[in-house]
Amino acid sequence: MPNECIFCKIVRGEIPSTKIFESEKSLAFLDISPAARGHALVIPKNHAEFLTEMNEEDLKDLILAVKKVAKAVVASAGAQGFNVIQSNHKIAGQVIPHVHFHIIPRKASDELSFAWKHIELDKEEIAAFGERVKENLE
């Protein structure tokens, strides 16, 4: 997959991009189909399709890059806030099979919405699910 992956090709310089940050393990560039002016993507240089597949060293570098890029994007866009979006698997909206974080600067005047319909759960359901999660932690 890494040879065909569009983000891996960007890392290797085979596809042009507007790079805005680079570390030893991470790369950030502007999205070519942005949701807002300044919409950036932050990716690990090592190919991983899902966040849960990443090694801890790459993940630490990546999240620090997300923090640094988010601060710079917000300042550069004159935004009042930002969204960080990271999706895993097609069902969750992942389009490119390479881990990536979207940083989307937000302004009061934008028309973006990331709202969802809330579901009703009682306290017992929440507690039972919490226990199942704890049993599955590695």
Catalytic residues: 100
> In this structure, are residues 11 and 43 in contact, taking their beta carbons and an 8 Å threshold?
yes
Burial level of 21, CB count in 10 A (0-12/13-18/19+)? Answer: middle
Find the length of the chain: 138
Compute the distance between CA of residue 25 and CA of residue 59 in angstroms, rounded to an integer: 9
Q: Which two tokens stand for residue 136?
A: 């599955």
Rg (CA), the chain: 17
Phi, psi of 75 (to 5 degrees): -65, -45
Q: What is the DSSP letter of 83?
A: E
Nearest partner of 43 among 57, 60, 55, 25, judged by Cα? 25
